[in-house]
Amino acid sequence: MTRRCSAWVVSAPASGQGKTTVVAALARLHARAGRKVRVFKCGPDFLDPQVHALASGAPCENIDFAMCGEDDAQWRLARAAAAADVILVEGVMGLHDGQPNVAELAQKLKLPILLVMDASAMAGSFGAIVWGMKHYRDGAPITHVLANRVGGDYHAQLCRATLPADIAWLGHLPRDPRGALPERHLGILPAGEIGDLDARIEHMADLLEATSAAQWQPQVDIAPLAPPNWPELLTGRRIAVARDAAFCFLYPANLECLQAMGAKLEFFSPLDDAAPPPCDAIWLPGGYPELHGASIARNRSMADALAAHHAAGKPLLAECGGMMACLDSLHDAQGAVLAMFGLLPGTVRMRRSLAGLGVLNADLPEGRLSGHTFHFSTADTTLKPIAQASARAGPSSEAVYRAGRLTASYMHFYFPSNAAAAARLFLP
């Protein structure tokens, strides 16, 4: 049965306009009013979803036509609509950036757009930019706008007065450092590292509640869709998944996909535990090994246990930070050289500039998998790649290495893009 619920894509003219803060504030505002909220993040992002999960009280999933595919996005949206009162989809980059862009995604998903605009350095130009964002190219279904980082109520009034008749004012948020989300080289900090994150979200929700218009919940009809038919190739398999401060880049969809194929997941900390739990396969996802290199270097019992797992011919998948930790050594940003787990020959060096960015496809012996790359380091190894993941658009590419049953790459794989191929990475 078709479900009617409130839904918005939240976008902006560019990155850095405050989309994540606004989405988190909206999610908390609805959640504390007793509504069931589901938040999605466009693009291959691991960090913003952690904030939205805390704000909404429910996991935040990724949807992205380039990496995840349109069918995956449509199904996840329909599943959310079956239970949710409110759906918020945070865009990526600017509204018209990328191929496909967020404007196209909103059109195909049949969702209206809330445009977030940083108004801190404008007044009379506010409406002109909003009008241009709506009518550029084939147009975008922008219904409302929110002015962010305004200087006060009078500044907000000046911005509101410029709006075209077909775009409604949702409200405004002031410039307020208590709402800012701290960042470092890969984006905002993981939610677990921001000690007062919940208080920040509450504060911004209070400010939004005080300035928002009364009628601001667009309703859409979303029809149910059948879930994907993932093969049960991992029945009875125990997969140990690294999850701690150094290994925290995990798509909820990947965990769900493994479990749907029959795997039993056990989580462990390569930083603090002496060894992984008893398992048939291990997954070392991405994260921040460069910030925890000293802890990795000290945990020789974990290095020995991983080496024993590898020597026994058991599968191990190491993605980005996981691959970095599997090399012999890491040169951190301060110039220190730290021992890693030593499963692969070579070393990794941190850089000040971006070394890889983009959505990729990898043709592996197991099948084609989609995913993405985003890193500030380079790896030097004598291993020969078994595949070269290439970007759908742009120059980015990443080598995929294999040593025994260990598969390693800077690429983060999106398992639902080819569930059977993902399952085979964890099979003997």
Instruction: List, in order, residues 6 or more apart from 4 with CB less than 8 Å away.
Output: 219, 220, 221, 222
Residue 320 annotated as catalytic: yes
Q: Which of 204, 177, 209, 170 lies closest to 51, judged by CA?
A: 204
Return the residue matching tokens 């739990």: 277
DSSP 114-163: EEEEE-TT-STTHHHHHHHHHHSTT---EEEEEEEEESSHHHHHHHHTT-
Q: How far is CA 89 from the centre of its chain?
A: 12
Give the CA count within 13 Å in the CB-facing half-sphere of 263.
Answer: 31
Q: For residues 161 and 186, is the Cβ–Cβ distance under 8 A?
A: no
Please compute, for residue 44, the number of CA atoms within 13 A of its CA located in the half-sphere on the CB side: 25
Of these residues, 60, 279, 320, 326, which one is catalytic?
Answer: 320
387: Cα within 13 Å, side-chain hemisphere? 19
φ, ψ at 6 (rounded to 5°): -80, 135
Q: Are 37 and 31 in contact (CB under 8 A)?
A: yes
Question: Which of the residues are catalytic?
Answer: 320
